Amino acid sequence: MSSSKTQTLADGLFSGADGAPRCRWCEATPAYQHYHDHEWGFPVTDERRLFEKLCLEGFQAGLSWLTILNKRENFRRGFANFEAEAVARFGEADVARLLADAGIVRHRGKIESTINNAKRVLELREEFGSLAAYAWRFEPSPSSRPKKATLAALRAFTTTAESIAMSKDLKKRGWSFVGPTTVYAFMQAMGLVNDHIEGCGAREAALAARKALTPPR
């Protein structure tokens, strides 16, 4: 990457090997860049993916997302591909099995939280029809977002009124490891907000995907 090329990019961006500008946080590995290009910030309504992301954001607490991403397939194998009905049936034998699994983050509290939260997902479905219908109720109004998504503007958003409200509501319903920062990271990843920096090659694609989506209600 030439220095002149670097100087033409906005703060928080880098130019990948393919020349495409990307948010700098994904620079570490090609797998991270693929996640950035094809998943992060793109709107999701799939039940399994929404539940998986809420769980993995809880596991990330105190770690980097890259650490979790590198272990994601192991997590999927260990947690029945994050099918909530299956995880809700896990018992002590499953907790012991997961605590012995070196391929995941072996934290008893987070493992037990995932099982608990699976049961809470089933309750949400009874009330709202789907986890997607529940989660998209908390999508922020476009007027609350920065007029221009610069690195400086987005740094101010580690929580929002909506992530705080969703966190409080989930906790009231018995969920755990769903603090406001964790919930905001979930919103970023699942496309409830688009925090790709202006000039990032994925930003417009994510915006177009959101425009084409009719959120479940």
Query: What is the overall mean pLDDT for the chain?
Result: 94
**List 25, 27, 35, 83, catalytic entry:** 35
**List 57, 134, 162, 184, catalytic entry:** 57
Entry pTM: 0.93
User: Is 57 among the residues known to form the active site?
Assistant: yes
**Stretch (H or E) spanning 5:** helix 3-8
Report CA dihedral (127, 49, 203, 12) to the nearest 10 degrees. 110
Q: Which pLDDT tens digit goes with each residue over 50-70?
A: 999 999 999 998 899 999 999
> Both tokens of residue 157?
């958003």
Query: Taking 90 as the threshold, does the pLDDT of residue 156 lie above it?
Result: no
User: Is 35 among the residues known to form the active site?
Assistant: yes
Q: Which pLDDT tens digit goes with each residue over 17-55?
A: 999 999 999 999 999 999 999 999 999 999 999 999 999
Write a three-state SS string for 149-203.
CCHHHHHCCCCCHHHHHHHHHHHHCCCCCCCHHHHHHHHHHCCCCCCCCCCCCCH
User: Is 65 among the residues known to form the active site?
Assistant: yes
